[in-house]
Amino acid sequence: MSADRLSAGLQGVAPLPGVPKPDPVLVLDGVQRSFGGLKAVDVAHLEFPRRAITALIGPNGAGKTTLFNLLTGFDHADAGAWSFDGRPLRGQRAHQVARAGMVRTFQLTKALARLSVLDNMLLAAPGQRGEHLGGALFGRWRAQEAAHREEAEALLGRFGLAPLRDQFAGTLSGGQRKLLEMARALMAHPRLLMLDEPMAGVNPALRESLLEHIEGIRREGATVVFIEHDMDVVMGSSDWVVVMSQGKVIAEGPPAAVGANPEVIDAYLGRERGQGVER
C-alpha cells in the first residue's frame, strides 16, 4: 500500500475491531439481523473512513452482503442504527438511501435486459423533472434530459461501452454488464459507492480495468466499500480492510496488518498461524 493511500486519514489508526476513524463517512452502532435462529449480522460498532477504499472480506455466510442490504434499504435490521454523513438512515427505503448519496451494485448484475445500454444509464440519473406532473406538462425536462444524455455518453466512453450504447443490455457479456453496473451507479452521483463482489467472474484484463475505475472514483473524492474474495485484489487495492465472520467484525486495519492477524488466518482463511494470507 502506497504512502498516499495512508494519507487518507488512516495514519495512526489502530488495527482494532470497531476502532474510531478521524473522519468517518458511515457509522454503524449495534446493527443486528437474524433469520430464524441464525444471527446473520451482529456489528457492535463500525466506521468507514471517508475518501478511502475499504474492502469487506470474510468467508461465505459471514454476513457481508446482508450488511450491504441492511445499509442500503434492501432489508430491515432487527436492531441498531447507522448514519451516513451524520444523517440517520435506518428505516429509509432503497431509493431514499440512493438519493442521500449512498449507492450500491450487486454481485448478480441488475441490468434491464430489454432496454438499451444508454437507457439503462439514463434511468439512474437523479432528480428527473419528467417524473413530476409539472415538469412533464410544461416540457421542463427537455434540457435536463439532454444534460443527462451527455453525462451518460461520457460515462459510457470512460468505461469503454460507447460502441454498445444502442444495444440491448441483455446482449452484453458478463464482464460488460459489470462495467455497465458501475457506470450506471456513477450516474446517481454517489458520495459512497458500495460494490458487491465487482470482480466475481471477470477475466484478468477486465479485473485490472475495474480496479483502475475504482481507484479513479476514489481520486474524484468518493468513498468506496467493496466486498471481495480475491485476496490479491484486497491486498493490492484497498486502503483499509474489515473482516467479518459469523456476522461479527473480527478484525480491521491496513491490508498488511489484517493479512498477518492470527484471528483472520484462523477464522477466515483456515490456515496455520504464522503462514500469512493465502493468495
pLDDT on residue 17? 93
Alpha carbon distance 81, 29 (integer Å): 5
Alpha carbon distance 117, 206 (integer Å): 18
Beta-strand (E) ranges in 15-149? 24-35, 38-49, 53-57, 79-84, 87-88, 102-104
Same domain, 193 and 162: no
Same domain, 74 and 159: no
Same domain, 20 and 80: yes
Burial classification of residue 2, based on how many CB atoms lie within 10 Å of its CB (0-12 exposed, 13-18 middle, 19 or more buried): exposed
Does residue 239 have a pLDDT over 50?
yes
Rg (CA), the chain: 19
Q: Is residue 106 part of a domain?
A: yes
Could you tell me the CATH number of the domain that includes residue 236?
3.40.50.300
pLDDT on residue 130? 52
Greater pLDDT, 267 or 31: 31
Q: Cβ(241)–Cβ(252) under 8 Å?
A: yes
Q: Is residue 277 part of a domain?
A: no
Same domain, 179 and 74: yes
Same domain, 12 and 92: yes
pLDDT on residue 277? 47
Domain count along the chain: 2
Greater pLDDT, 257 or 278: 257
Q: Is residue 276 part of a domain?
A: no
- Among candidates 243, 241, 246, which has minimal Cα distance to 265? 243
Same domain, 209 and 131: no
Same domain, 127 and 41: no
pLDDT on residue 90? 95
Question: Which single residue is written with the C-alpha cell 450516474?
Answer: 187
Same domain, 101 and 127: no
Q: Is residue 210 part of a domain?
A: yes
Mean pLDDT computed over every residue of the chain = 87
Q: Of the residues 125, 150, 171, which one is the last residue of a structural domain?
A: 171
Same domain, 101 and 200: yes
Same domain, 161 and 225: no
Q: Is residue 279 part of a domain?
A: no
Alpha carbon distance 214, 193 (integer Å): 9
Does residue 2 have a pLDDT over 50?
no
Same domain, 102 and 135: no
Domain assignment of residue 142, given as a range: 117-171
Quick one: average pLDDT of 162-174?
A: 94
Alpha carbon distance 217, 211 (integer Å): 10
User: What are the pLDDT digits (tens) for 180-211?
Assistant: 999 999 999 999 999 999 988 888 888 898 99
pLDDT on residue 267? 67
Q: Is residue 194 part of a domain?
A: yes
Same domain, 24 and 151: no
Q: Is residue 275 part of a domain?
A: no
Q: Is residue 251 part of a domain?
A: yes
Alpha carbon distance 27, 14 (integer Å): 17
